[in-house]
Structure 1
Amino acid sequence: MSSSPASEVLRYAAFTSRPDGGNPAGVVLDAALLDERRMLAVAAEVGYSETVFVTARDDRRRRFALRYFSPLAEVAFCGHATIAVSVALAERIGPGALVFDTPAGEIAVETRADGTGAVRATLTSVPTRSRPAPAAGVDAALSALRWARADLDPALPPHIAFAGNDHLVLAAGTRARLAELDYDFDALAAVMRAHDWTTVHLVWRERGDLFHARDPFPVGGVVEDPATGAAAAAFGGYLRTLDPAAAGVIAIRQGEDMGRPSDLTIEVDPHDARVRVTGRGVPIAG
């Protein structure tokens, strides 16, 4: 890549304190001169599930405009790239509050150093919502995943959950079912495009405050995300919809089956449709 400020790509791992864990994201801190076609080309060259571009910045007010691109298309919001750019900015202008204007809406983030060598960032999502998923769409997705209805947890019904993007939520009945992910890439991508789903958020409930997750992302040209902040926020809205009195802190463990363990924390408030998502982030050397 060019070394000019407008095209320099930084690389960060989000939802981890280790460069070889979490979900890697590209970060371009000065993209004001890049058009949409160039941003897409940069994202494709980087090859991560998303690269985030700062298209306008006001360091004094700590307010920034962001756009997110996968290798194949622009997405309205990406949680792990938001954590990544928050950490990059905190390292350069100091920890504290940040405000991002994104295609999905305004996203507030709090950053702080946590003594581990990483920066901890907490984003507050746009208002979430969730609704039962259409039966035909669920059946098509299950077919592409090579799952059966019997593989699902009946206590956690399929939903379409939103936190800036739509995500199909499917809850596996066992950890083994979640671990054995071997899906038809093209078939699942076609189903997702037909329904405008950004990811399929596959979860397994170990206990009430701990879930394991996997997120196929074929519509972005990526087999799977090792950490998905946008889907985690949407999942918080899903849990709140299932139980309007739900509240508290929930841990999500993701990426283990890919060899990139990731830790996400969501905070669900029964009186607020927004969900707070927390994770660490660190630069990737080289």
Structure 2
Amino acid sequence: MNTYVVYDVFTDRRFGGNQLAVFPDAGPLPEAQLAAIAREFNYSEVVFVYPPDDLRHSARVRIFTPTREVPFAGHPLIGTAVALADLGFPADMILETGVGPIPCTVAQGRGSFTTTTPLTRHGAPDPALVARALGLTVANLDGTVHPPVQAGVGLTFVIARLTDRDALRRCQPDVAAMREGAALHPASLDFATLAYVTQGNMVHARMFAPLDNIPEDPATGSAAAALCALLHDLTGQPQDLTIHQGVDMGRASLIFARTDGPTGGVTIAGHAVRTMEGQFFVDE
């Protein structure tokens, strides 16, 4: 028997945001079954928590999607930090991840973390391919700030700016086009695409990763961090974004993202609420 908790992340109310399963003491779980456990939940991510390698840190976390282990992801860090704080960990903690130690803070159900992983650009997918992958036309893409770009701060996304909210609402991913994109632009995720529109500092976004068994993600902190870092890099201006995601799929989420100082580090913040807990049975 292994105890887990489930949190809805990037929301302050149950049944919104992005679901996350956390195993606070993953040590007894067989290594060979971690991927299968993540597939069994079929959430966008499951987190397994271990004692830290460096005793100055709070814990080591491993993050699994339904198809692979990933080095970094946003809503798992927020949800895990809140879950550990609920279990008695200090409000300020450092979680070891695949991209290094990341400081996290929790206060009244609201978690935040800061990543200083540099922004990396991995490619510039053909706008026509990106539009087709989103079920749109090239006319729906807004290239005034940037054309579609593949970039990330630990986890890579295709980031596409759209012309208006209606275009965002009409997105309907084309899996064949996504496969074509993944073959042309291999990355840590298979052509996972963040589409967004802005109104001042307010962002409406949707993220699709059907090739990674995530048809649509209600809230994607790592993509929010990538977008925030990208806009900072493109404009040379600090960013302070309020990102609405999951609205069109009925799981409204709210992500706060800002760049910190000249290094371009990104802080991601949001609430998380516990929705259930239970025991998972595995073969020994």
Q: TM-score, normalised by structure 2?
A: 0.89
Partner of 1:27: 22
* Sequence identity (%): 31
Aligned mates of 2:162, 2:97 — CA distance in 1: 32
Match of 1:116 in 2: none
Displacement, 1:35? 4.2
The CA deviation at 1:262 is 0.4
Which amino acid in 2 is paired with 1:125?
Answer: T
Deviates further, 183-192 or 210-219: 183-192
Stretch moving more, 153-162 or 231-240:
153-162
Larger deviation: 58-67 or 169-178? Answer: 58-67
SS in structure 1 opposite 2:195? strand
Residue 34 of structure 1 deviates from its aligned partner by 2.9
Tell me the CA shift for residue 139 of structure 1.
3.3
Q: Which of 218, 226, 238 is the matching residue for 1:247?
A: 238
Matches within 5 A, 1:1-286: 4=1, 7-57=2-52, 61=56, 63-113=58-108, 119-131=109-121, 133-136=123-126, 138-157=127-146, 158-192=148-182, 194-196=185-187, 198=189, 199-205=192-198, 207-244=199-236, 246-285=237-276
- C-alpha contact 1:126 1:164 (8 A) present in aligned 2: no
**Structure 1 counterpart of 2:281:** none
CA contact (8 A) 1:189 1:218 kept: no
Match of 2:129, as an amino acid?
A: A
Q: 5+ residue gaps in structure 1?
A: 114-118
Unaligned runs of 5+ in 2: 278-284
Instruction: For residue 13 of structure 1, give the secondary structure of its aligned residue in structure 2.
Output: strand
Distance 2:21 2:276 in 1: 12
SS in 2 for 1:17: coil
RMSD: 2.1
Contact 1:130 1:159 in 2 (8 A): no
Instruction: Give the TM-score of the pair, scaled to structure 1.
Output: 0.88
Residue identity matched to 1:147:
L
User: How far apart, in 2, do the equivalents of 1:10 and 1:132 lie?
Assistant: 35
Residues 272 and 185 (structure 1 numbering): CA distance in 2 closer, same or farther, change over 3 Å?
Answer: same
1:104-161 deviations in Å (ceiling 9; x for gaps): 2221101111xxxxx101111132315484244x433322222222111122312222
Q: Are the equivalent residues in 2 in contact too, given 1:250–1:265 (CA < 8 A)?
A: yes
Note the alpha carbon deviations across 1:185-227, whole angstroms, 9 max, x for none: 354145236421532111111x221100100022321101000
195-204 or 126-135: which moved more? 126-135
- Give 1:243 deviation, angstroms: 1.2
Q: 1:209 to 1:130 in 2, by over 3 A?
A: farther
Identify the range of structure 1 (158-167 vs 192-201) with the bigger mean alpha-carbon deviation. Answer: 192-201
